[in-house]
Structure 1
Amino acid sequence: MKRQQTGYFETKSIGGEQVRAFVPDPLPPKDELDFKYLQHSLDSANFAIGRLDSITSILPEPWLILYTYIRKEAVLSSQIEGTQSTLSDLMLFELTQAPG
């Protein structure tokens, strides 16, 4: 793959010091974005958020759902970093080992 030049270097004087700055070429003009192909996915996501909102409005302790999803995200993030644990492992640790 042959690389194209995407800008140029320009020498400037700043505070009495000569520096080289890279000046990128102008981006192409913005075209109108066409979201038609995303509309179904967007509608489905909005519908799911509405369902979640309606469920949490009738729960006596809606923060419990939020707490669980925060923990799940933490486990998934740690798995990306190589930690081998599950959501069950984390909850068991918090139940038995965590102070309080």
Structure 2
Amino acid sequence: MELRRGSLILAVLGALQAEQYGYTLRKTLEDCGLPVDEGTLYPLLRRLESQGLLESQWREEDKRKKRFYRLSTQGAEIYTRLLAEWKGIGEAIAELNRTT
């Protein structure tokens, strides 16, 4: 459970290197093999924004108001750090699997 939550945070931060609104973000994650329901995604987006990792802006597109999200400067720094940690963990697990 915690692994999925952590990987979802990393995936959201990575996907939001390019600005997206909620629906397109959800579709991007799903297309990459990480389906997430709205009841999980939108609270996560609000939490990441309140932590200063994301910025959002309401805009009208196709005559509908949509909230667009993107990484903040702090979010980009955290993403880089988390990605390096994730890769390190993956390498350690791969090494353990080779030696057992």
TM-based fold match above 0.5: no
Who wins on radius of gyration, i.e. which is larger? 1
TM superposition score normalised by structure 2: 0.32
TM superposition score normalised by structure 1: 0.32
